Structure 1
Amino acid sequence: MDELVTRLSTAAHIDAATATAAVKAILVFLDKEAPADAVGDLMDALPGSRQALSDAKAENGEPEGFAGFGAMAAYHALTAVGLSGSEVQVVTKELLAHAREKAGEETVGRIVGSIPGLEAFI
């Protein structure tokens, strides 16, 4: 997780705490909205991600749902942790690039393909 948080902080020019909150928000979103097997494969490839998801759920409880639908729901989750629109785009692109490097194109493709509007957003 440290590698990913550093990458997001540097790329989006945000502090580590905000980058960590963004990662947690994305993991919670994916856990709820993306195929469980693909998310499991992603978490297996990202050390510390299962703990981050567990921490996020402990901090905020289980999400009832997200404001919006598909990619817009993810956008709202990220703006809720304090990211601007341009920061959301940078964080999303960098997180997906990191995920592709660690988990592979097939796993990330299954996740992205399952979330309406995400391909157009990134």
Structure 2
Amino acid sequence: MDELLTRLSNAAHIDHAKASAAVKTILVFLETEAPGQAVNELVDAMPGARPMLDEGRAEKAGSPGYAGFGAMAAYHALTAAGLSGGEVQVVTKELLAYSRETVGDETTGLIVGAVPGLEAFV
């Protein structure tokens, strides 16, 4: 996970805490919006992702659902986590690139295809 957080931090010029918050937010969002098997494959392929997903779920518990629809809902959740619009774009593109490198185009495609508007970040 440190490798991914460093990658996101460097690409978006954010600190590790923001990168960590972004990954947690994205994983929780994908878990609710994308095919479970594809998301689980991605989470299992990312060292340290399962505990981050668990933390993200715990942090989100009791809070309202995502505002908006599709990728816009994720965008709102990420800006609520403290990222600017530009940082959201960079982090999302980098995380999807990491997904393609880790689990391949097919699994990443299943995830992207399930979330309206997410293809704009590929």
Give the TM-score band, short-chain normalised: over 0.9
**C-alpha separation in 2, matches of 1:120 and 1:57:** 26
Determine helix, strand or coil for the equivalent of 2:42: helix
**C-alpha separation in 2, matches of 1:42 and 1:69:** 22
- Give 1:21's aligned residue: 21
Deviation per residue, 1:53-102 (Å, 9 max, x gap): 10112233166521000010010011011111111000000011111111
Q: Which amino acid aligns with 2:78?
A: L
- Give 2:31's aligned residue: 31
- The runs of 5 or more residues in structure 1 that have no matched partner are none
State how many pairs are aligned.
122
- The runs of 5 or more residues in structure 2 that have no matched partner are none
Q: Quick check: 31-40 or 112-121, which moved more? A: 112-121
TM-score (normalizing by structure 2): 0.94
**C-alpha separation in 2, matches of 1:62 and 1:46:** 27
Mark the CA change 1:107 to 1:100 in structure 2 (over 3 Å): closer, same or farther.
same
Deviation per residue, 1:5-26 (Å, 9 max, x gap): 0000000000000000000000
Asked if 2 retains the 8 angstrom alpha-carbon contact of 1:79 and 1:88, the reply is yes
- Give 1:42's aligned residue: 42
Q: Which amino acid aligns with 1:4?
A: L
Asked if 1 retains the 8 angstrom alpha-carbon contact of 2:93 and 2:121, the reply is no
**C-alpha separation in 2, matches of 1:72 and 1:112:** 13
Deviation per residue, 1:11-54 (Å, 9 max, x gap): 00000000000000000100111110100111111111111010
Moved over 4 A (4+): none
Q: Which amino acid aligns with 1:106?
A: E
